[in-house]
Amino acid sequence: MLTLNPMNSSFNKLLTFKNVITASMIIVFSINILLIERVYALSDSRQIVLDAWTLVNEGFYDPEKFDEIQWKRIRQKTLQKQIETSEEAYSAIEDMLRPLEDPYTRVLRPKDYELLKSSNFGSEINGVGLQLGEDDENKIKVISTLGGSPAEEAGILSGDLIETVDGISSEKLGLASTASKLRGESGTKVLVEVSSKSGEIREVDLERRSVDLRPVRTKRLRDDSHTIGYLRITQFSESVPKQVEEALQELKEKEVEGLILDLRNNSGGLVSSGIAVADSLLSEKPVVETKDRNGIKDAIISQKETSFDGPMVTLVNKGTASASEILAGSLQDNERSILMGEQTYGKGLIQSLKSLGEDSGIAITVASYLTPNGNNIQGQGMTPDKLLDLPDASNYGSSDDKWVRNAELFLGALLEKEDVSVQTMELNNEEIKSLNS
């Protein structure tokens, strides 16, 4: 007859107890996971936050920033907040994105998302006509004003700072909310406090209205000796490449000998459109290099056929930014066009627009871009070949526009000297001024 060892009996009981506890913990833990997943699945607002985090995590151009700011912990802390409404979700996303220190990676509420899409794909937008960015001190800065807009008529200039909108500090609002508050239904008004570079502060009462973007405008300039084409692009929307092709064809039929490309106050838009326009002016040349989270990609090369191959002058100013800087940089580096004017804005980051729930969206910086010669535009801008120390025109392309007149005179002098290339042609600012007298 066998006798059971008491220690073995106690051990077996303890082991059984531990197994029961372990099994219970697994069940409880599994239930908690299921409950958490169920809560997340039932909360559309919380799902928006999770989707935004995932999109940024997969696409942001500088993943090293994630380790620096403890990106995964930010997600955890964000999801611990009360997120029951769409507005709470948008606010949570804004808080989540802030440590990235990238003003261009931002959540877009439904109204802002729709307006941004309409400006990229449509021909008009309701608002005051201001295109905004942030300076080095995170102040809201005017990149440019749209032609014929309330902001332009009120004398707001590129480089001015937006201090308040309807009494609310732009610093408190941030870039996206400041832009949002300036937009609205036609006929409504908004009070904007603006400060100039000299420090002068003034209040401007602006009435919102439908602003005709008219992204491509063209005309023929004629004098006694030559016929010059003038092509102005105010922004790069989806329809622009086709409109530029049509405009260049029209100018060729008018037998223009040279071309003035006006990119002043063009704050960008769709990078793909800017590249497509460069493709129309360059023959088998590098247009731009991009640097994303995986490193520098091969340059995009233009096609062989061009829509215009004559001499060119490209006008740029401090409101020339983003996609327009890509175009200007490709023309300058390939020695295709002289750049005239002012140092450009210096926005060298590319955003991808992604959809979130409830017709909202998120803009994510996915890459930076370099000119064909490897120049980084971000924070630096493009330096013109010929700086123009002249007041900018109030009506671009008009008979009073001295910038266009200087470009026209320069092209005329170039055409008179057929044996001198655009690259070696010398005409300093004093000579340019003398041509106007």
210 is catalytic: no
pLDDT digits (tens, 9 = 90+) for 286-342: 999 988 898 888 889 999 999 999 999 999 998 898 999 999 999 999 999 999 999
pLDDT digits (tens, 9 = 90+) for 355-367: 997 689 999 999 9
352, 256: one domain: yes
The parent domain of residue 266 ranges over 216-436
246, 350: one domain: yes
List average pLDDT for each run of 10 residues in the chain, which is 437 residues long.
41 47 45 42 79 96 95 94 92 95 90 71 63 77 80 87 93 80 86 91 91 82 86 90 95 94 89 93 94 86 93 93 94 96 91 85 92 91 92 79 92 74 46 47
The single residue of 112, 262, 279, 333 carrying the catalytic annotation is 333
322 is catalytic: yes
The single residue of 347, 368, 385, 386 carrying the catalytic annotation is 347
The single residue of 144, 322, 360, 368 carrying the catalytic annotation is 322
Whether residue 221 is contained in a domain is answered as yes
Residue-level pLDDT at 182: 87
81, 188: one domain: no
Residue 214's CB: how many other CB atoms inside 10 A? 15
Residue-level pLDDT at 5: 42
Task: Determine contact, residues 218/245, Cβ cutoff 8 Å.
Answer: no
Residue-level pLDDT at 116: 72
243, 132: one domain: no
State the DSSP H helix or E strand holding residue 396, giving kind and residue range, or none if neither: none
The one-letter amino acid code at 309 reads D
Residue-level pLDDT at 15: 46
247, 370: one domain: yes
Picking from 34, 18, 26, 56, the residue whose alpha carbon sits closest to that of residue 364 is: 56
292 is catalytic: no
* Residue 197's CATH number: 2.30.42.10
How far is CA 412 from each of CA 247, 254, 328, 392, 404, rounded to the nearest angstrom? 21, 17, 21, 21, 12
Residue-level pLDDT at 297: 80
Task: Give the pTM.
Answer: 0.73
